[in-house]
Structure 1
Amino acid sequence: MLKKWVIGNWKMHGSLADNKALIDGIRAELPALDARVGMVVCPVFPYIPQLKQITAGSGIGVGAQDISEFAKGAYTGEVAGPMLKDVGVEYVIVGHSERRTFHGEHNEQIARKAKAVIETGLIPVVCIGESLEERQANQTEAVLTAQLDALFAVVGTDNANIILAYEPRWAIGTGVAATPDMIQAVHSFVRAYLTKRSAAVAGLPILYGGSMKGSNAASIVTLPNVDGGLIGSAALNAAEFVAIYKALVASVA
């Protein structure tokens, strides 16, 4: 699996026309992707088939924003892993801060969702991060440890096909990004945690998510142990998304 990634989380945005215009804009600026840096876009469920069609041949991967922990059954409103695989999904975001905040998802449930992704043969993008109150109480490392402990207790530590995304919950959709020193400290902590867990997971990509945009991308993606970005609002703007991607390519040149 690639080490460097730019993943766009479109959240609850998009339309057939807007989606096409966005991908057309990205492809116009990036007629060919750099083989060292992966790009993924994650639309809402109804637009996944369209995204598979309009990204064909571009190298852009298509992901989903959530998954059911169950493979099938009487779970109204849920979408199972095999269904996502059926329509061409390759990656699935799990544990996003908005799922934790608005849907009450907890560490163990998120771990089960990550396992469902893996069992389907897809790659989970597992989000971890602390709230503002937890950071102010100096609980960041304890919170991240609990989240990672819960994850690996369920999925094991022998799978290298996992992407982690550190997203300080207080920087999601606020326009406020963590400082480079804050990001560096957390990513170094997570890398040390992974190294202690097992050789298989020691090198997992660790992305940063939290108000990254074209203007601050270079200062973030060049930090040690920052392997790319999980991008929210900036992923809805072709110029911004391309600028972040180019900053990451430049960081590995």
Structure 2
Amino acid sequence: MSRKALIAANWKMNGSAALVKEMTNTLQSLAISAVDVLLCPPATLLTRFAPSSQFALGAQTLSHETSGAFTGELSAQLLSEAGARFVIVGHSERRSLNFETDGLVAAKLATAVAAGLTPLLCVGESLAERQQEKTQQVIARQLDAVYASQPELLAKSVIAYEPIWAIGTGESASPEQAQQTHAFIRAHLAQYDATAAAAVRILYGGSVNAENCAALFAQADIDGALVGGASLKPAEFAQICLAATQGAKD
């Protein structure tokens, strides 16, 4: 099945109005219609972007509540009104630093879908878990928390495999290692909904850059990337987008 590549930028707690302008100008100059591009800046910068056919906007997290006395939280509706069409759910930094449990991640994903946002669900193992050969066990648990009881949500999701040991470290899984895990994810998802599993886009994240992206995109089950540090450099992020475009033509 042909799946259109998606290149997503996670700026984390970085960025500025100047970067918004530079990134917009860079992307507007590219011929990248063969791939989808997603920018996830801090929520305060969402409204700084002018509408564009070159990219969509996403948020980095959301509340599982729809409204109420939750100081500092942002609901799906607020994010949507600010221009977000996607939202990252369950990033490892949220799971570890903000103590988000599998159950909370599942609730957030369901809230996002109910509000019309496309969730980008992050899954992945720590270095210790990989060394203990628990990669598949950990990822299966993270997926099961969401889709085992709500399989209908799969068709409305994007998945991102982010090995925690590779995030921001400069280390990256080899293309073969990444493909093996992506293939496992797709096979595991098939038990909930085989049709949706074949169609869902599974991105790789973990120190993706202009040098290693082409080899990753060449793998059968890698449908793009969730890019961290390199997404703060418009010229390099553009190279990654173009590499995915080339892969779509091959």
The two structures have a TM-score, normalised by structure 1, of 0.93
Deviations 1:31-80 (A, max 9, x none): x432x3100100101111112x1xx2332100000000000011111000
Q: Structure 1 residue 154: deviation in Å?
A: 5.0
Q: Partner of 1:5 in structure 2?
A: 6
Identity %: 39
Q: Aligned partners of 1:18 and 1:123: how far apart in 2?
A: 24
Could you tell me which amino acid in structure 2 is paired with residue 38 of structure 1? D
Once the two structures are overlaid, the 10-residue window that deviates more, 82-91 or 167-176, is 82-91
Q: Secondary structure at the match of 1:214?
A: coil
Q: Partner of 1:26 in structure 2?
A: 27
Q: What is the correspondence of 1:1-253 to structure 2 with a 5 Å cutoff?
A: 3-28=4-29, 30=30, 32-34=31-33, 36-51=34-49, 53=50, 56-157=51-152, 159-202=154-197, 203-253=199-249
Gaps of 5+ in 1: none
Q: Aligned partners of 2:128 and 2:181: how far apart in 1?
A: 16
Q: Structure 1 residue 86: deviation in Å?
A: 1.4
Q: Structure 1 residue 194: deviation in Å?
A: 1.5
Q: Aligned partners of 2:194 and 2:139: how far apart in 1?
A: 19
Q: Structure 1 residue 198: deviation in Å?
A: 1.1
Q: Structure 1 residue 25: deviation in Å?
A: 2.3
Q: Aligned partners of 1:158 and 1:173: how far apart in 2?
A: 29
Contact conserved, 2:3 with 2:223, CA < 8 A, in 1?
A: no
Once the two structures are overlaid, the 10-residue window that deviates more, 154-163 or 130-139, is 154-163
Q: Structure 1 residue 150: deviation in Å?
A: 0.2
Contact conserved, 1:71 with 1:80, CA < 8 A, in 2?
A: yes
Q: Aligned partners of 1:75 and 1:21: how far apart in 2?
A: 34
Contact conserved, 1:158 with 1:201, CA < 8 A, in 2?
A: no
Q: Structure 1 residue 14: deviation in Å?
A: 1.0
Q: Secondary structure at the match of 1:40?
A: strand
Deviations 1:160-210 (A, max 9, x none): 121000000000011111112210110110111122221342121000000
Q: How many residues align?
A: 247
Q: Secondary structure at the match of 1:62?
A: strand
Contact conserved, 2:32 with 2:245, CA < 8 A, in 1?
A: no
Contact conserved, 1:159 with 1:200, CA < 8 A, in 2?
A: no
Measured at CA, do residues 149 and 177 of structure 1 come closer, stay the same or move farther in structure 2, by a change above 3 Å?
A: same
CA RMSD, aligned part only?
1.5
Deviations 1:99-121 (A, max 9, x none): 11211111111111111110001
Q: Structure 1 residue 17: deviation in Å?
A: 1.6
Q: Structure 1 residue 22: deviation in Å?
A: 2.4
Could you tell me which amino acid in structure 2 is paired with residue 33 of structure 1? I
Measured at CA, do residues 159 and 172 of structure 1 come closer, stay the same or move farther in structure 2, by a change above 3 Å?
A: closer
Q: Secondary structure at the match of 2:246?
A: helix
Q: Aligned partners of 1:18 and 1:121: how far apart in 2?
A: 28
